[in-house]
Amino acid sequence: MAAVSGARWKRWLSLYLPLGAFVIGTLFPFYYMAVTSVRPDQEMYIPWNRPHFAPFWTLAPTLEHFALLFRETLFARWLLNTLIISVLSTAIALVCGLLAAYALARLRFPMGGALGSGIFVTYLVPQTLLFIPLGEVIRSFRLSDSLWALILTYPTFLIPFCTWLLMGYFRTIPKELEECAQIDGATRVQAMVRIVFPVAMPGILSAGIFAFTHAWNEFIYALVFLSSATNKTIPIGVVSELVRGDTFFWGPLMAGALLGSVPVAFIYSFFVEQYVSAMTGAVKG
Amino acid sequence: MPAPAESATPTALPKPAMTRLAAIGLGRFRRASRTERREWLLALILLTPALVMLGLFVAYPFVRGIWLGLLDSVVGREGDFVGLRNYVKLWNDDIFRRAAANTFIYTGFATSLKLTLGMIVALMLNNLIGWKRILRASMLLPWIVPTVLSTLAWKWMFDPTFSIVNWILYHLGFIRLRIDWLGGPVMAMGSVILVNVWRGTPFFAITLLAGLQTINPDVYEAASIDGANPWQRFWRVTWPLLMPVTTVVMLFSVIQTFADFQLVYILTGGGPANSTHLFATYAYQIGVATGKLGEGAAASLAMFPFLFLVVIFQLWYIRRGEGGRGSA
């Protein structure tokens, strides 16, 4: 009996406590973001060492910061822009990635291996390596300061990922499935579209969720390619309109940060398993 | 197929057996090559959309970036060819040298901390019986929420006058005076690393956990029977078996951390006094904020040699892994 309770005590100390501390540390910034977004201004700017200061909650919650966000900034527009850009760039990336992945995983052709490696390498190219010349390219295509600048450039980091993930997925689908369809008189393309793609649906969903959150997250291209207030995405709009010089409007900033995070967090919460499988699949290759 | 065989038979009669076989072989090759050619065509069609996108918006900008780095372009002016003058200028620029050193320090500390913490959390999660799914799901939040938005929350938490972190540390009795988190060069760099670790650890923990779950528990049992203690079990069994996953996760993380922009841009803007710039933030400052496109392109391309080495290593590692799997 003593040994059992000793083991339980040890388990608390080595497992539950550190894990609990880690989770609290992980989630605290979001909690603080939420509290700040409903805290009235007169309560917010109190020096940290003043007594009777309760930073963890507020007894007079207000929606004033959210109201300001919609009244005095174009937040609703930014939300819409972010949504349009994320959905369209994800769709483009999924179509390109799906077709390319099928070719690379299933067809034999010269240079196939080299092309696969080439696509994998572009997956590793960080956005910050190319943003200046890419901005020039965007300008010469006359796409500057238009949503299309992002809709067309985001797929560059989404396609390699989708291709890589779906290639792995196609390899798990037995070839016999297609061969049966072809014996039954279907062409190769019909077998691909009617048999293989539907079976790959879970993989497509995983890739789509992952790509969508990536597109929603992107910052530097949006910062460099867009300039007018009506075209901004949420991260850019919040940072550029609610920070004036050295003055940070923390209430509206945190309200904007919260509202900008909720859609991805919401979608993510429905598809946690797909997201995790995409993430770990991308690593396994 | 009957058609080539029939046509081969009448002419084949007077010929020796070898020639007949060769003719059949040739027919087979022709037939195969026809389907092969159709397969090539299909592959080409399927690959075209992806290749066009990547060509236009990755390969072309890359070439153009190399060219731009050799010009003295500023916004609105094409610029003249100046050879390597931009690179020489950067090499003699103290801020750039500082940024280069910072990038390596940032990458080194952040990735090793993420690996250590991520490994510990993964091992703990693997030992956990219930709660695993909910913990895993909530742990990933820093990874999916837009980095700029969560970094803004950190910036607010690090505020010089209203810092909640100071408040907590003060009330726990750890500090008596306020800590200026983003004030001095060393402190600011440390804070940026802290936020990067906060954001990146979940990725390590979850992918390493996925790796851990593929290890057969019998291996551990065998090791315990042989008298290995937990420490030995980790270094002799878990660590080597997890190595493939660890290496790939590390390489991904090294590339992303090395090329990071958002954390520094939001938290310090490269300050105080340009002491916390990374390659990317300094390239942005030169190329976009002050509009010297040529110099900015050169500054971001300065990341290329290191990234290239990492990618080469990664390709080599993956190929090696595939070879191993094939022979097994």
Nearest by CB: A99 against B46, B57, B133: B46
pLDDT digits (tens, 9 = 90+) for A40-73: 888 777 766 666 667 788 878 889 999 999 998 9
Describe the crossing of helices A272-284 and A201-217 by its angle, rounded to 10 degrees.
90
- DSSP state letter for A53: -
Rounded to the nearest integer, the mean pLDDT of chain A is 88
Burial of B158 (0-12, 13-18, 19+ CB in 10 A): buried
Q: H-helix or E-strand containing A49?
A: none
**Buried/exposed B140-152: b ≥16 CB within 10 Å, e otherwise:** bbbbbbbbbbbbb
Domain limits, chain A: 2-62, 68-284
Closest CA to A141 of A216, A222, A225: A225
Contact A237, A78 (CB under 8 A): yes
**B295 vs A: CB within 8 A:** no
Flag the least confident range among A127-131, A273-277, B157-161, B281-285: A273-277
Residue-level pLDDT at B27: 59
User: Is the pTM of the predicted complex or chain greater than 0.90?
Assistant: no
Closest CA to B156 of B181, B173, B174: B181
pLDDT for residue B77 is more than 70: yes
The label of the residue with tokens 């004036």 reads A244
What is the number of other CB atoms lying within 10 angstroms of the CB of residue A261? 22
**A12 vs B: CB within 8 A:** no
pLDDT digits (tens, 9 = 90+) for A163-190: 989 998 898 888 888 888 888 888 888 8
Q: Do A261 and B202 touch (CB under 8 A)?
A: no
Q: Do A272 and B249 touch (CB under 8 A)?
A: no
Q: H-helix or E-strand containing A257?
A: helix A250-270
Nearest by CB: A153 against B57, B140, B293: B57
Q: H-helix or E-strand containing B254?
A: helix B239-258
Rounded to the nearest integer, the mean pLDDT of chain B is 85
Contact A166, A207 (CB under 8 A): yes
pLDDT for residue B326 is more than 80: no
**Residue B58: its chain A contacts at CB < 8 A?**
122, 125, 130, 156
Q: Which fold has domain A68-284?
A: MetI-like fold (1.10.3720)
What is the number of other CB atoms lying within 10 angstroms of the CB of residue B328? 5
Complex ipTM: 0.91
CATH class given for the domain over B92-327: mainly alpha
Q: What CA–CA distance (Å, rounded) separates B150 from B262?
A: 11
For residue B171, give the 3-state DSSP assignment: helix
Domain limits, chain B: 2-61, 92-327
**B267 vs A: CB within 8 A:** no
Which A-chain residues 145-184 have CB contacts (< 8 A) with chain B?
152-153, 155-156, 159-160, 163
Test mutation, B68, B148, B179, chain A, max A CBs within 10 A: B148
Nearest by CB: A26 against B128, B141, B293: B141
